[in-house]
Each structure stands twice: as C-alpha cells, then as structure tokens.
C-alpha cells in the first residue's frame, strides 16, 4: 500500500486584474470504474471538461487493487499531466479532482484527491466538491483521535478523508465507515472516493452541488456535470440522489441511502457556475440562461441599438435578451481565450491595462451605438466599471447594463467563493430600498441604466420549484445553516438581525 505524488513548490496565484474576484466554484469531481480501460486518461479528459470548476490545482488517484497512486499538483489539468505521467497511473479505478480553495489555502497539501492509510493497511483516496458548515466539529473529532494537527488548519476534505480511513478496520469496511460518517457531515458535499477495489460516490442530503452517473461500454463514471460524461463517451444514466451513497464494482452499481433527501440545489449553477452544455435535474443550463435573458428583457427593457454579451458567461442570456427585446444581438467584445489564472505576475504597466488582458472592444461594431451589455452577475463591480469605461472610450453612445441574476448581497458557505459581505457592491452603496440600491450601483459602475433579473424570474427560468433551490446569495436564506467560527458567517448573523 502506498502513495506517489508529484511535489512542485509552485508560487502562489496572484490576484486577477483589478483585484476582482468573480464567483468561483470550489471544485469538480470525477470517478471511473472501468477494468481494462485507461482510467487515468479517462479521468484526465473528465477533469478537462470540469476545469471551469477549479483552476488552482488538480489530481488523479488510481487504484489497481494492491495500492492507490496519487498524482497531484498546483496548476491547470494540462499543466500537471502529460503522456508519461498518465501512462504511469495503472489500474481499474480512478478518481480525479480540480480545485479552487475556500476551506484551506492554495497550497500543494490541500490539492486533491486526499489520501490516507487505515490502521489495517487499506488505502483511501477522496475528492470533495462543496463546503461544510460543521467543519470545526469534525476537526475537533479528528484532532481528538490524533488524525490531524489542527494547528496546520487542514482542509475540510482532508479531515473527512482522515475520519473515513479511521473508521476502517479488519472488521469494518470502507462502505460501513462511510455509512457511519456521512450522516454526521453537515453542509454541501459531493464526494468520490475509493479503496482501490470499489468506486464510491456520495451527495449531501440537500443536493446543493450536482453529481451524476454515466455508463461506459465497460464501466461506470460519476462526475460533477453531464458535460464530463459527454467528453469521455459515457451515456447519462441519472443523477446521484441527495442523501445517496453509490457503490460501483464488479457486482455492478449499488445504492445505499444515508439520509432523507431534501432538495436544495444551488440556483447559481444555472446562472453561472455549470457549463452551458450540462444538464441539471433534466433542465438544460444553456436554455435556462437564454430564458433568463428573455425574462430580463421583459422586466427591464432598454432603448438600444445592439445587445452585446460579456463573454463567455453572459452570452446565452444576451441571446435571450435580444430575442425578448427585438434588439439585434452582436459580438462587441473579443475575449482572449488563453487568459486565466496565471503564475506570471504582470508588471505594473500591464496591470494598468486591466480588463484589456481579457476583453477588447470591436470599435467598428460599437462606435456610436446605444449598447445593452448583458453580464451574469455583479460582485464588487470593478470589472463592470472598467468595462464600461473601455466601451465609452471605444465610441459607445450609451451603455445600459442588464444582469442575468439578482443582486448578490450574501456570501455563500456551500462551495462558492464569493467576496465577504462588506465587499459585495450591492451592500456597499447607499440606499435602503431596492430601487435606491440599484440606482447607486448604476452610478458606481458608470452605466446609463441598470437592471437585474428578479429572483422569481430566475427561478421560473430554471423550471425548478423555489422550495427546492438554494438562493442564499440572493435572498439570505441559508437552508443548511451557517458555519461556526467563520467571520463572514458572524457578519451574516448580524445582518440578519
């Protein structure tokens, strides 16, 4: 039994331009059981499809029945793995993970999959998407059992992996350990884990984050999004049910329930987080975004000559806005597809160019036009402020901003890395009522007018029931509760009272 890991002491990631932190999904998970297939390469392509869910670190764990080998590092999937490293990962089972950090910092130790060895010598590797609200309780439990050093501030994923392995003995299997541990975990979690013999997947009882099952010709796949199934040629079977534990091995697929399901799927998956070519609860993400745009046009019409998106996340909603308003759709901004999070710190001169590193206007298209600019959300407002200034410099006569989500007023504690409450622009401007707040935000970003889609229209576009969605970042209602010992959670408690 053992572990092999690539350790590259890479530098920390710098802030993106303007210091703007867009909403970021914490992680993407993938798992495959397919004897006779190149499971490491299948996982590599699955993670490639899930790269948008995490760009700070990635890793793959492969089990062959004798040992689990883990290869992980900081960076993008394509930067970490090559043909040689993938060829070295031999086995019938693999799990993969691509990560942004919320619980735990950006360092190699927090890259996943996590790995632990049980007292009986069994290996356990685990990947986690989400965020826990009872992390401190679990940390205390793991510390009392001397499984972790709390002074090192291990991630919630590492604590779960440690507790999972601790529950294994000569008389207790991994599945029995999981069935005991999972009901004690509170918060949002989608897990893939393995002992090298069997693939496991689990989803929290509220189903906050998506997780689905796919069928290969000679195996099975689990993934955060259906788009990852498409990439590896797996056919969609169904979603993992909230509160369900899936067991995949030579006997097939078996299901165990560890908690009653209470659907509270994240509405922001439809708005921004998920890939547009994914499907969540039988609803196309792309179609939801187009419909949000149509409804936005009805709620907040504008006198404009051209509807342009902020690419790429604003594009489907902009298409819908153009359809709903009758204003022509156009591409007024060009995105540099190769600008992401980078290890290279830009010079001050380059930093001053700001948003032009990512977006550049098509002057011939927008010069003299009254623009309706459709974006997915406003967080701090820095990006929108710089973008509007750039469009005016390129000759735009008017800039009317339309946002395909309601005002973001509350932080997320279930796996999205938002700014703190005091940094969210909707909380920072003057105005006690909604209209005054929107007017203040409009002035702050320099737009001629501003409109946000309503919560009701957003929910209706998703074709889900409001009671089965988590809209906490928009309405401040936290269905899974708030974490203890979290400064932002304490601020939220004060805001609520």
Binding site residues, as ranges?
266, 313, 375-376, 412, 470, 473
DSSP bridge pairs for 403: 375, 452
Rounded to 5 degrees, φ, ψ at 426 are -65, -20
- CA torsion, points 132, 137, 140, 141, in degrees to nearest 10? -90
Nearest to 166 by CA among 153, 180, 152, 155: 180
Distance CA 57, CA 177 (A): 28
Rounded to 5 degrees, φ, ψ at 194 are -155, 155
Binding site residue list for Mg(2+) = 313, 375-376
In the three-class reduction of DSSP (H, G, I as helix; E, B as strand; rest coil), residue 494 is classed as: helix
In the three-class reduction of DSSP (H, G, I as helix; E, B as strand; rest coil), residue 162 is classed as: helix
Structure tokens at 192: 């893939």
Distance CA 397, CA 402 (A): 16
List alpha helices for 281-361, DSSP H: 285-299, 315-325, 348-353
Alpha-carbon distances of 387 from 167, 395, 493, rounded to whole Å: 53, 13, 34
Distance CA 120, CA 116 (A): 12
Structure tokens at 260: 């009653």
Q: Is there a catalytic annotation at residue 27?
A: yes
**CB-count exposure of residue 274 (10 Å: 0-12, 13-18, 19+):** buried
Distance CA 221, CA 94 (A): 10
Q: Count other Cβ atoms within 10 Å, centred on residue 480.
A: 22
H or E element in which residue 74 lies:
strand 68-74
Nearest 5°: CA angle at 478, between 473 and 483? 105
In the three-class reduction of DSSP (H, G, I as helix; E, B as strand; rest coil), residue 131 is classed as: strand
The gap between the terminal CA atoms of the chain, to the nearest Å, is 53
Nearest to 81 by CA among 26, 120, 44: 44
Catalytic residue, candidates 27, 161, 212, 471: 27
Q: Which residues are catalytic?
A: 27
């Amino acid at each position: 039994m053992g572990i092999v890991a690539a350790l590259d002491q890479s530098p920390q990631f710098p802030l993106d331009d303007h210091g703007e932190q867009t909403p970021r999904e914490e992680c993407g998970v993938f798992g495959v059981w397919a004897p006779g297939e190149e499971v490491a390469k299948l996982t590599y392509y699955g993670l490639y499809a899930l790269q948008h869910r995490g760009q700070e670190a990635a890793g793959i764990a492969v089990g062959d029945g004798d040992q689990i080998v883990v290869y992980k590092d900081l960076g993008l999937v394509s930067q970490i793995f090559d043909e040689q490293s993938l060829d070295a990962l031999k086995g019938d089972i693999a799990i993969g993970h691509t990560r942004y950090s919320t619980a735990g910092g950006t360092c190699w130790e927090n890259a996943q999959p996590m790995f632990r060895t049980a007292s009986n010598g069994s290996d356990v590797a685990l990947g986690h998407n989400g965020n826990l609200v009872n992390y401190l309780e679990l940390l205390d439990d793991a510390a009392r059992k001397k499984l972790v050093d709390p002074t090192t501030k291990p991630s919630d994923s590492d604590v779960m992996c440690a507790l999972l392995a601790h529950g294994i003995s000569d008389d207790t299997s991994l599945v029995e350990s999981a069935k005991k541990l999972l009901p004690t975990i509170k918060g949002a979690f989608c897990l893939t884990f393995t002992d090298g013999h069997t693939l496991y997947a689990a989803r929290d009882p509220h189903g906050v984050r998506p997780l689905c099952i796919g069928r290969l010709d000679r195996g099975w796949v689990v993934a955060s999004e259906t788009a990852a199934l498409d990439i590896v040629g797996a056919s969609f079977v169904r979603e993992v049910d909230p509160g369900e534990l899936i067991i995949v091995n030579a006997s097939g697929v078996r299901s165990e329930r560890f908690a009653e399901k209470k659907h509270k799927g994240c509405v922001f998956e439809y708005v921004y987080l998920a890939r547009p070519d994914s499907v969540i609860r039988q609803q196309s993400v792309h179609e939801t975004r187009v419909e949000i745009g149509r409804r936005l046009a009805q709620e907040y019409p504008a006198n404009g000559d051209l509807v342009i998106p902020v690419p790429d996340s604003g594009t489907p909603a902009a298409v819908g806005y153009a359809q709903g308003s009758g204003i022509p759709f156009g591409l007024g901004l060009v995105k540099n597809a190769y600008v992401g999070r980078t290890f290279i710190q830009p010079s001050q001169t380059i930093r001053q160019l700001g948003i032009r590193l990512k977006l550049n206007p098509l002057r011939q298209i927008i010069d003299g036009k009254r623009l309706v600019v459709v974006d997915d959300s406003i967080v701090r407002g820095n990006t929108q402020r710089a973008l509007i200034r750039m469009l005016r410099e390129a000759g735009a006569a008017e800039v009317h901003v339309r946002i395909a989500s309601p005002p973001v007023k509350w932080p997320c504690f279930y796996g999205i890395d938002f700014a703190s409450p005091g940094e969210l622009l909707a909380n920072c401007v003057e105005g006690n009522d909604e209209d005054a707040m929107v007017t203040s935000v409009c002035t702050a970003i320099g737009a001629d007018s501003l409109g946000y889609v309503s919560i009701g229209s957003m929910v209706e576009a998703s074709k889900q029931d409001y009671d089965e969605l988590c809209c906490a970042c928009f309405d401040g209602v936290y269905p899974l509760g708030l974490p203890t010992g979290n400064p932002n959670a304490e601020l939220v408690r004060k805001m609520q009272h």
